[in-house]
C-alpha cells in the first residue's frame, strides 16, 4: 500500500493548471475540437476545458476533432491541421499512431506511453519536447514510469526546460516518503568512502544535526540545568566540577573558568555595546558595563522597560529584577558600583532563565528569541551567530560522556523533552531540520557575511561541493538524489496567480522513532499579496515506524476546519479521540472552528465514522504504546 491511492502532488498541480488560461507555444501539437466557424477561417477551438479563437490554415468542419499544430501565436493564434478528422470510435492506439506519424516520431514503447498520456490529459506538446521526454523516460525503471511521466507533464505545464536536473528535481521532489532511508544510505556510503576527512567530517555533522532535530533544545536544557547546579549551595563539589568541565568541553564558557569565577568569566567577555536598542539579555548587561553617570538615568529606564516586555521572564522575576534596579538607582554611579551591579544583574538573569527553561515550556518572545537564546547570550559571546552549532555540540558531549554524573543529567533532560513535547517543540525541530538541510541556501548568498558563513552548517551546499569534487558512484548518485529532493521542493512551491503552494519534505526522528513528513499546503492570495488565512487545504503525508503510512487532509473554509485521517490502523480513531478537545481548543485560540474529524482507509471513499465534539477523559500514557508522536 502506498500514497499513490491518493492524488499525487503533480496531478493536483495539473488540475490547478487546467483552471488557468491555456498558454500556447509555436510548434505545439494539440488535440482540438472545432466548436464554431466564423468568417475568414476563424474558428472557436476547444482543447480540454479551454476554448479560444484561432485562424485555421485550411477550412474545417464544425464538430470535427483533429490534431492541430500551432504555427503562430502573434498577432493571432494560427493552427495547422496535422491529421484528418478523428472519429469517436477511434481507439487510443489509432490516435497515438496518428499523432506520432504526424510528427514523424518513432513508435517506441516509451514514445507510445508518452503519447497516450498527453492525449488523455489534453496537454499541448512539441516534437522537441516529445524527444526530450523520451530521453528522460529512458533514465528510469519500469516501476517509476508513471511518476516520471507525471513529472514531465508538470515541467511542460510550468514552462520549465526539460533538462535532466529539473526532471530529477520534480520527480524526486514529488515523492512523499523515503527521504529518511535515502539519508541513511548516503550516510553509510559516506562513512565507507575515501573522500577527504575534512569534507567527510563536515557532511557527517550536517547529517547528525538532521537526524537529531531536538539536540538544540536538549543542549539548552543541559546548559540550564548545569547553571542551576553551579549556582546551587547544596550540590556536592564533585558534581559541580563535572558540570563545569562539561560546559568548558562544549566551549560554552571559557577554558580558564573555575567554580569561583565562572559567571564572572562569562561577563568579562563583554567588550562593548553595539547600540542603544536592547534586544538580548547580553545587550542589557553590556550596556550597563559601559554606563556612566551621565547616561545612567536614561539607560536604567530602558532596562526597566526591557524587563517588563521580556516574555521569557515571569511576573515574579520581573518584580525581583525591577526592585534590584531601583535599589541601584539610588546608589552613586562609580566604576565599582556599576561593575558590581552588572555582575549581580548577570547572575539574576542567569538564574531566572535557567529556572524557566527547566520548569516550563519554552515560548518565543516578540523578538523571536527564546529563554535558551537569552541564556546563551549571557554565557557565550558567539552564540548569536552559531547558536544551533553550539547547542548541538553540548548535546554531543553529553551523549558521548561516560561519566555517571553526566549520564544522569542526560537521562533527566531526555525525560523532560519527552514530557514537554508540544507543538512548539515540533515546530522547532522542523525548523532545525530545514535549516540543516539548507533547502533555500541560495537565498543566504544574497544576505550578510555572517549568514553566508553559516552555509557550511548546511547539507545542500556541501552536497554540491562533494559532487563538484568528483565523488564517485554510488556516493555521487545518492548525493544527486538528495539534491534533487531539495531542489524539487523549491520547483513545486510558489505562486500561480492568486494561488500559492508550498511543498516541504522533512525527515524527522524523535526518541529513536523515525518519520518522513511531507507537507503540501495550498492557499490563495488576497489582493494585497498576503495569504488569505480563512481558506486553505493542507495535506500531511506521514510515513511513521508504528502507524506506518498516514495522510492528514485538512481543509479550511471560512475558518471552519475539517480533518480527514487516512490510515490502515483500525485503532487510530481510539488513539486520536483523546486529543480532539485539545485540538479544538488550540484551533479556537487561533480563531478557527473544528467541525469534525473523519477516519478513512486508503482507497475508500465511504465515510467510516465521524468524531463528535464531545468531552473525552484522559487515559493513561501507557495505553498509547505504538503512537509515534502526538501532533
The model's pTM: 0.75
- For residue 76, what pLDDT is reported? 87
Give the tens place of pLDDT for each residue, 307-326. 999 989 999 999 999 999 99
- For residue 192, what pLDDT is reported? 83
- For residue 133, what pLDDT is reported? 95
Rounded to whole angstroms, the Cα distance separating 517 from 348 reads 41
- For residue 197, what pLDDT is reported? 84
Enumerate long-range contacts of 364-370, CB under 8 Å, 24 or more apart. Answer: 364/311, 364/424, 365/310, 365/311, 365/312, 366/309, 366/311, 367/279, 367/280, 369/279, 369/280, 369/312, 370/220, 370/312
Q: Is the peptide bond before 428 cis (omega within 30 degrees of 0)?
A: no
Give the tens place of pLDDT for each residue, 74-109. 888 899 888 878 876 778 888 898 889 888 899 999
User: Measured in Å, how far apart are the chain's first and last C-alpha atoms?
Assistant: 23
Nearest C-alpha neighbor of 289 from the set 346, 351, 231: 346
Nearest C-alpha neighbor of 542 from the set 413, 628, 474: 628
- For residue 606, what pLDDT is reported? 36
Residue 311, classed as helix, strand or coil, is coil
Say how many CA atoms lie within 13 Å of 491 toward its Cβ: 28
Q: Which residue has the cell 512523499?
A: 176
- For residue 21, what pLDDT is reported? 63
Nearest C-alpha neighbor of 134 from the set 157, 162, 104, 169: 162
Ranges of the chain whose pLDDT falls below 70 = 1-21, 88, 268-277, 360-369, 444, 446-454, 456, 497, 603-631
Contact 608, 568 (CB under 8 A): no
Contact 135, 99 (CB under 8 A): no
Helix axes 383-400, 197-211, angle to 10 degrees: 90
Helix axes 296-309, 315-329, angle to 10 degrees: 170
User: CA dist 616 to 315, 554, 565, 574, 619, Å?
Assistant: 34, 22, 19, 11, 9
Amino acid at each position: 500500500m502506498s500514497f499513490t491511492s491518493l492524488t499525487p502532488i503533480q496531478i493536483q498541480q495539473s488540475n490547478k493548471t487546467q483552471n488557468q488560461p491555456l498558454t500556447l507555444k509555436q510548434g505545439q501539437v494539440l488535440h482540438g475540437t472545432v466548436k464554431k466557424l466564423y468568417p475568414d477561417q476563424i474558428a472557436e477551438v476547444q482543447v480540454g476545458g479551454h476554448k479560444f479563437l484561432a485562424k485555421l490554415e485550411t477550412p474545417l468542419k464544425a464538430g470535427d476533432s483533429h490534431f492541430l499544430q500551432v504555427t503562430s501565436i502573434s498577432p493571432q493564434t494560427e493552427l495547422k491541421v496535422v491529421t484528418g478528422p478523428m472519429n469517436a470510435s477511434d481507439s487510443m492506439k489509432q490516435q497515438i499512431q496518428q499523432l506520432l506519424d504526424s510528427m514523424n516520431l518513432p513508435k517506441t514503447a516509451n514514445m507510445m506511453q508518452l503519447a497516450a498520456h498527453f492525449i488523455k490529459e489534453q496537454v499541448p506538446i512539441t516534437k522537441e519536447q516529445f524527444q526530450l521526454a523520451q530521453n528522460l523516460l529512458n533514465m528510469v525503471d519500469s516501476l517509476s514510469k508513471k511518476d516520471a511521466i507525471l513529472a514531465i507533464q508538470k515541467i511542460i505545464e510550468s514552462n520549465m526546460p526539460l533538462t535532466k536536473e529539473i526532471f530529477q528535481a520534480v520527480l524526486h521532489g514529488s515523492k512523499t516518503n523515503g527521504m529518511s532511508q535515502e539519508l541513511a544510505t548516503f550516510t553509510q556510503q559516506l562513512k565507507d568512502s575515501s573522500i577527504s576527512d575534512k569534507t567527510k567530517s563536515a557532511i557527517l555533522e550536517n547529517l547528525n544535526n538532521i537526524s537529531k532535530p531536538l539536540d538544540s533544545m536538549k543542549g539548552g536544557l543541559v546548559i540550564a540545568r548545569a547553571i542551576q547546579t553551579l549556582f546551587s549551595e547544596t550540590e556536592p563539589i564533585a558534581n559541580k566540577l563535572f558540570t563545569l568541565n562539561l560546559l568548558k568541553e562544549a566551549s560554552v564558557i571559557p577554558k580558564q573558568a573555575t567554580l569561583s569565577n565562572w559567571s564572572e568569566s562569562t561577563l568579562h567577555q563583554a567588550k562593548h555595546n553595539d547600540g542603544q536598542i536592547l534586544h538580548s539579555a547580553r545587550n542589557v548587561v553590556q550596556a550597563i558595563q559601559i554606563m556612566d553617570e551621565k547616561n545612567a538615568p536614561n539607560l536604567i529606564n530602558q532596562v526597566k522597560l526591557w524587563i517588563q516586555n521580556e516574555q521569557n521572564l515571569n511576573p515574579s522575576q520581573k518584580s525581583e529584577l525591577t526592585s534590584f534596579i531601583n535599589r541601584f538607582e539610588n546608589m552613586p554611579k562609580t566604576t565599582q558600583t556599576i561593575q558590581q551591579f552588572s555582575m549581580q544583574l548577570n547572575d539574576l538573569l542567569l538564574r531566572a532563565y535557567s529556572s524557566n527553561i527547566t520548569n516550563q515550556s519554552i515560548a518565543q518572545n516578540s523578538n523571536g528569541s527564546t529563554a535558551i537564546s537569552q541564556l546563551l547570550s549571557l554565557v557565550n559571546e558567539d552564540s548569536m551567530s552559531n547558536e544551533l552549532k553550539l547547542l548541538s555540540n553540548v548535546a554531543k558531549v553529553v551523549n558521548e560522556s561516560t561519566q555517571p554524573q553526566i549520564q544522569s543529567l542526560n537521562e533527566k533532560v531526555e525525560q523532560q523533552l519527552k514530557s514537554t513535547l508540544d507543538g512548539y517543540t515540533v515546530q522547532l525541530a522542523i525548523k532545525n531540520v530545514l535549516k540543516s538541510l539548507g533547502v533555500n541556501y541560495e537565498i543566504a548568498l544574497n544576505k550578510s557575511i555572517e549568514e553566508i558563513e553559516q552555509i557550511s552548517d548546511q547539507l545542500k551546499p556541501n552536497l554540491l561541493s562533494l559532487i563538484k569534487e568528483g565523488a564517485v558512484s554510488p556516493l555521487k548518485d545518492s548525493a544527486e538524489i538528495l539534491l534533487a529532493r531539495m531542489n524539487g521542493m523549491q520547483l513545486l512551491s510558489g505562486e500561480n496567480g492568486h494561488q500559492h503552494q508550498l511543498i516541504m519534505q522533512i525527515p524527522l526522528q524523535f526518541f529513536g522513532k523515525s518519520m518522513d513528513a511531507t507537507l503540501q499546503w495550498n492557499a490563495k492570495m488576497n489582493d494585497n499579496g498576503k495569504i488569505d488565512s480563512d481558506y486553505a487545504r493542507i495535506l500531511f503525508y506521514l510515513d511513521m515506524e508504528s502507524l506506518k503510512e498516514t495522510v492528514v487532509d485538512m481543509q479550511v473554509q471560512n475558518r471552519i476546519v475539517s480533518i480527514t485521517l487516512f490510515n490502515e490502523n483500525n485503532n487510530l480513531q481510539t488513539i486520536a479521540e483523546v486529543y480532539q478537545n485539545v485540538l479544538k481548543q488550540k484551533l479556537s485560540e487561533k480563531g478557527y472552528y473544528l467541525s469534525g474529524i473523519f477516519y478513512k482507509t486508503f482507497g475508500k471513499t465511504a465515510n467510516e465514522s465521524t468524531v463528535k465534539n464531545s468531552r473525552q477523559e484522559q487515559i493513561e500514557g501507557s495505553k498509547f504504546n505504538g503512537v509515534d508522536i502526538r501532533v
